Structures are given as structure tokens and as C-alpha cells.
Chains A and B, each alone.
Chain A
């Protein structure tokens, strides 16, 4: 029904009227803003980069706070993702910030599967949201949105080009999340090397068809700054939470024997640009893009996989509910059939085993009979032998007695002979 209503509206002529006085609906944006402020905002950052490249330090520097973080070891067996959620507040704005870390990325000798846990994590967050959306009783306004709004990809400052792992990973992620590539630990690259490095990276990304996040240039308020920032990608950043005295101020910096690298000095690194773009200007746009583009793509693919279509062969709009019902029936009948099959198999197996057991029983019985007969045979033989033996013994005894009596009479004679 809703579809036909909209059609009616767009076919009608829209007439613009002029107002005779101040009505007051120009306060709508303010109402929206105050509603969102009361609700609070949520933002999810995914940091992808090798162990020790400076992910945690950069997060601390960006949000000017110490998120608790243990140093990761290089000897993990695989890559796993570690999400941590924090509640931050600035003025009267609440931010539920989730930082997801990739632990063990780039450490294994064989990195062919390194990208997989990351892709799986992103998909899982989309899936959870989709499940919530499809629920009968849903509370989207209350739902803690864990979908990743931005992926910061930390590039190692080799000065030559991207690493092969970087290319492979970014290609897998570019259709699922907004990617902003950044050059980490940029205080090891000199200005001229940096210029060449940035050009090389961007050209490699373009020639391999990797889609990174472009700051939006369609809103006049931010067009200028965004388009100039787009030209500075990838941002070369330096992070630090330690403060060093420069002039008469304490600034966040890194102290070397040959000089001090100031984090917020724009001629030293692009940290300020990153903070500006990521937090101060485009945070809301990142959330929108995630929902309107990446999530919608995921949802479409997922539902198509399940067999849903928007229109059937006759070009009549399908209702989601009907398709769902049909699928469910199909599934249930499938299930029943499988159950039947399994039951049959089970019964057959039982019959077989029974037959086997019977056979074995018979064999055992036969063997028993045989053994019994053998035993009896043996017994008989032994009996015979015993009788023979007894007879022999008797015969022997008789002979013995006879010999004894003979010998008894003999020695008398002998003695007599001896005496003589």
C-alpha cells in the first residue's frame, strides 16, 4: 500500500506557496540537533596496521586521553580484533567511541589469511544490525550501533611504496568500509621523500582500483576545505602523548637529539589535518556513508543470497513477508525430509547390527560345543591313561612284593654263607 501512496504524491504537481508570516518550522534543524545531542552519538574506528606502528599512540593523541592499552607481542599465531568502547564527553555532547585494534597484523611469516578476521568482523557488525532491523519487535533507536564507520590504515614509512600486504588488505576492505590511509611514524621521512612517497602510494591505489574515502565536496560549507584536504592524502602523521617545552609553551612532541618534532605543527606533519577531517568536519558524513552505502550493499548482497528479490518475473513487487513465508515452508519441508531419511538410516543400521550379533552368537555357540567335545575327548584319554598307569603301578607293586619276599629269604642264606 505504501508504494502506491508515494506514486500518487510524485505525480501530483507540487506547488510552492509563500508564507504570510513567521510560522516557526525553521527551528526543525535545532530540534533535530537537540534530539541527537540528548541521544548521544556513537562512532566506531578500526585501526589496521602492523604491531608497534603507533595505532594506540595515535588514538591517544587524537582524543587527548589515555585509553588503556597493553603493548602487543609480535608472536601471535594469527590476527584477531580487539574492540574497546569508551564514553567521552565534550561540552554537552556525549560520544560512545569504540576503537577496534588489529592485534598481530603483519607479524606472521605467511600473511595470506591476515585480512580474513578483519573482513569477518566488519561483516558480523553488519549482520547484527541486519538482524535487529529484521526483528518483529525492534528498537533501533536504542540499538548500540557497532558498525565500523572508518578504517584508518597505517602504512609503514618505508619511503618506497605500499607493501604487498597493504595492497591485498585494502582491496578486500574498500567495498565494506570507509578507508583513510595514513603514513605512520612520519618523522622518519624527509620532506622531499614524503612528497614522492605520497604520489607513489596514491598512484598504486588508483592503478589497482582501491577505493578510499573521499571527503565530500558537495556541501558548499565544507567544499573548499575538503577538496584541499583530498589532495594531501595519505596524511603523514606523528603521534605523541609526551609534552616538551618549546618556546614558553608545553606542546605534544617527540624530542630527538637533533630537534623536536611537534605533533600539532602543520609543517612537521599532517596530524592537525587528520584531526580536522576525521573529527571536526566529516564525522557525521562518515556515519552516513557507512549506513547508506556500505551497509546497504551488504544488506542487498545478503538478502539476494537468501533468495529474495525485489520484483518477480512478472514485474509485480514481491512482498518481503510472502517470500519469507514461502522460504520458511520450503526450509521446514526440507528439514522434515532429512529427518525421515535419518530415521530410515538409523532403523536400517539397527537391523544390520542385530543380524550381525545373531550371527556372532551362533558362532560362539558352535565354538563352545566344539570345545566341550574336545574337552570330553581329552578327559576320556586322560582317564584311559590313568587306568593304564594304575595298572602299571599295580603290576609294579606286585613285582615289588614278589621281589621283596624273594630278597627276604635270600639274605638269610647269604648271612649264613657269610657266617660260614
Chain B
């Protein structure tokens, strides 16, 4: 009986799973922050590879007038048959020069370029093999040495929040004691609200999830911004070999949740919310860009159309204050003359009587 009623579309998730494994996934991650905050080390720790072999670090002298570069590293990694094409976009030079005015411009330009390229591809005739290079997530590294967000942090996040999912991180978290860490996180959250910065928000979990999952979700949301530590070295701690940092006073374990939020970040970024980040990039940021683009194009078209019409029209640009004043004065004079004329006519009429 149940066999007859069983239609079979409950297997859809499995079909989706199969197809996606066959197709493979891609993810683009942008890391930004000043030199020396552990960005490369963290990326290595997250994806358990060494992406930055043989890189050359600049001296202080060379960095005085440094401009921001954009570098891309793409790797193909595979786990249990699932293939991931991971692209890490690095921003060497950000915030390193003495004058950092608008140092985020190369980054916003890069993001816009990827949107533009996708927009063109999407509008093209042959859409079979579109390459999606849009940036899905931006990890922004906040230095732990200060009292919270600095002006350059605020400006950067303001410039990028409408274009990409921004995930702020407190870097080198082994610099802060638990009390100081709490103060720092509270500060950053306060300042994020104060300056109206829109960072990536975790979607609320469904109300039919079990209590444990909801609890985890709450904990995750309460511990933002994540305080992270990265390491390229493996040390021996508590009888195990773990990624960590060896100090004379103890060993910091990267994957120990009581030491730092690395595990939370990894879970969020890779294990649970990677697809959500991609969705928001496609559905929100890209759509915003696309709508803006189209609006600009159509307003330009209508402008051009108007110029060609035979009817003389006022110039579209607002006249400057001077000419406006003159026009007003002349109008006034005209009106007065008309009134006087009327009066005189009336008088003449009366006199004729």
C-alpha cells in the first residue's frame, strides 16, 4: 500500500548531492588587513595547506609609499570525493604605507570588476561555461593591540559592506587575556553598531531544529567577532600532535575552543555557512550591483534621447546660483511692468469715461 502512495521525489536531495559532487564547488575568499597580523598563517591553518611558499616580504623602507596590490592564488583541493576550487585573494600593502588615504580603492575596484565580468557573461549569448570569480567572503583582520576599531578599519568596512560579505576577525588572539578579549569583542560590536557597519549575519536557524543545534547557533552568534590564532607548526600538547604555538609559559592550541575561536570560524566558513555566503553574494550583493548598473545605463540612454529631440528644452544640468538669481530678478521686473501697464490702462479707461 505505502509503495503505491510513494511517489519518490524524496530522493531529490540525493540527486542534488550527486550532481553537485560531480560538478564540484568553487569559493573565493578575500583576506585583508595590515601586514603582520597573521593572515597567511590563518589561511594555511584553515585549509591545511601552505599557500604562501616563497613569498617575499617588503622592508619598512620599501613600504613607506607602497600601493595596494591584489594577488590571487587558486588551488584545487579534494576531500571524500568532493572537489573544491579555492581562490584566495590577498591584498599585500593594505594599510602599510605612511599615507593610507583610500587604500581600499584597489580592493573595491577588484570586486566590482569581478561583478562586471559576471554581468557581461550572464548577459552574453553563450552561457555554458561561465566562470564565477565573484568574491564570496572577505575576512578582515583587526589588530588586537588597540582598544577596538581604528579609523582605517571603519572606513574599509564602510566601503566594502555593500559589495561583499565582511567577516571581521580579531587577529593574533594570543595577545589578550580572557577578560581583555571580552572587552575587545564588546567594544568592536558597539563600534560596529555605532558606525552603521553591516557585517555578515548568520541566518537564523529554523524553529524546528533541535535544542542543541539552536544552542550552538546562539553561542556562535554571541562570540562574534571571532578571535583567531593561526599556526604553521605542529607541536606536542597533552600527548597529541596539534597545530599550535610554543611559548616558554605554555602552548597555545589553535583548535582548542577555550584558547581561541578558530574552530568556530572554520565551522562557520567551511562546514556550515559556505553555501550561505555564496547565496548572499549572488542574491544580494551581485543583484545590487546589477540593478545599479542597469539603472545607470538606462538613465544615460534617456539623457541621450532627450538631447536629440527637436523641442528646445532647458539644460539638464542645474543652472548655477547666479543665473538663477538673474532670472528671478527679471521675472520680478516683468511682473511689475505688467502691473503698471494694467494700472495705466485702467486709469486711461477711467479718464476716457
Does the CB pair B60–A74 fall under 8 Å? no
Bound-state CA distance A164–B63 (Å) is 6
Please give, as numbers and ranges, the residues of chain B lying within 8 Å of A190 by CB-CB distance. 245-247
Q: A261 within 8 Å of B by Cβ?
A: yes
Annotate B256-273 by CB proximity to A: 1 below 8 A, 0 otherwise.
Answer: 101100000000000000
Annotate B177-215 by CB proximity to A: 1 below 8 A, 0 otherwise.
Answer: 110000000000000000000000000000000000000
By secondary structure, the B interface counts as loop
Q: A107 within 8 Å of B by Cβ?
A: yes
Could you say which of B35, B57, B150, B174 contacts A256, with CB atoms under 8 Å apart? B174
Annotate B142-153 by CB proximity to A: 1 below 8 A, 0 otherwise.
Answer: 011111111110
Does the CB pair B259–A71 fall under 8 Å? no
9 further interface pairs, Cβ-Cβ under 8 Å (given A168-B64, A256-B252, A258-B250): A74-B148, A109-B103, A111-B100, A156-B36, A164-B63, A188-B175, A255-B177, A257-B258, A268-B249
Query: 30 A-B Cβ contacts within 8 A?
Result: A50-B145, A51-B147, A52-B145, A74-B146, A74-B147, A107-B150, A108-B151, A109-B100, A109-B151, A111-B98, A111-B99, A160-B57, A161-B57, A161-B59, A164-B60, A164-B97, A164-B98, A165-B98, A188-B172, A190-B247, A204-B61, A208-B60, A208-B61, A255-B177, A258-B247, A258-B252, A259-B247, A259-B249, A261-B247, A262-B249
Bound-state CA distance A282–B281 (Å) is 60
In chain B, positions 72-125 with a C-beta closer than 8 Å to chain A are 96-101, 103
Q: Nearest-CB distance from B50 to chain A (Å)?
A: 17
Q: A267 within 8 Å of B by Cβ?
A: yes
Q: Nearest-CB distance from A396 to chain B (Å)?
A: 12
Please give, as numbers and ranges, the residues of chain B lying within 8 Å of A27 by CB-CB distance. none
Q: Across chains A and B, which 10 residue pairs bring their CB atoms closest together, nearest first?
A: A158-B36, A259-B250, A52-B146, A259-B249, A258-B250, A162-B60, A188-B175, A164-B64, A164-B63, A167-B60
Please give, as numbers and ranges, the residues of chain B lying within 8 Å of A168 by CB-CB distance. 64, 98
From A115, which residue of chain B is reached at the shortest CB distance?
B98
Q: Nearest-CB distance from B31 to chain A (Å)?
A: 16
Q: Nearest-CB distance from A48 to chain B (Å)?
A: 15
Bound-state CA distance A187–B172 (Å) is 11
Please give, as numbers and ranges, the residues of chain A lying within 8 Å of B103 by CB-CB distance. 109
Could you say which of A54, A111, A163, A254 contacts B60, with CB atoms under 8 Å apart? A163
Bound-state CA distance A353–B185 (Å) is 69
Q: Nearest-CB distance from A133 to chain B (Å)?
A: 36
Task: Report B's interface with A, CB cutoff 8 A.
Answer: 34-37, 57, 59-61, 63-64, 66, 96-101, 103, 143-152, 155, 172, 174-175, 177-178, 245-253, 256, 258-259
Q: A156-B145, A164-B60 are in contact. Are A261 and B99 (CB under 8 A)?
A: no
From A184, which residue of chain B is reached at the shortest CB distance?
B145
Annotate A76-89 by CB proximity to B: 1 below 8 A, 0 otherwise.
Answer: 00000000000000
Q: Nearest-CB distance from B157 to chain A (Å)?
A: 14
Annotate A15-48 by CB proximity to B: 1 below 8 A, 0 otherwise.
Answer: 0000000000000000000000000000000000
Q: Nearest-CB distance from A225 to chain B (Å)?
A: 23
From B153, which residue of chain A is reached at the shortest CB distance?
A74
Annotate A233-266 by CB proximity to B: 1 below 8 A, 0 otherwise.
Answer: 0000000000000000000001111111110000
Q: Nearest-CB distance from A228 to chain B (Å)?
A: 20
Bound-state CA distance A53–B250 (Å) is 23
From A156, which residue of chain B is reached at the shortest CB distance?
B145
Q: Nearest-CB distance from A298 to chain B (Å)?
A: 26
Bound-state CA distance A71–B66 (Å) is 31
Q: A316 within 8 Å of B by Cβ?
A: no
Q: A74-B150, A185-B175, A258-B253 are in contact. Are A167 and B259 (CB under 8 A)?
A: no
Q: A164-B97, A188-B172 are in contact. Are A268 and B248 (CB under 8 A)?
A: yes
Q: A349 within 8 Å of B by Cβ?
A: no
Q: Nearest-CB distance from B218 to chain A (Å)?
A: 22
Could you say which of A51, A110, A163 contacts B101, with CB atoms under 8 Å apart? A110
Does the CB pair B146–A50 fall under 8 Å? yes
Does the CB pair A160–B249 fall under 8 Å? no
Please give, as numbers and ranges, the residues of chain B lying within 8 Å of A204 by CB-CB distance. 59-61
Does the CB pair A254–B57 fall under 8 Å? no
Bound-state CA distance A188–B60 (Å) is 21
* Among B98, B174, B245, B253: residue with most chain A CB under 10 A: B98
Could you say which of A163, A184, A260 contacts B96, with CB atoms under 8 Å apart? A163
Bound-state CA distance A161–B252 (Å) is 23
Please give, as numbers and ranges, the residues of chain B lying within 8 Å of A73 by CB-CB distance. 147
Bound-state CA distance A123–B246 (Å) is 45
Does the CB pair B98–A112 fall under 8 Å? yes
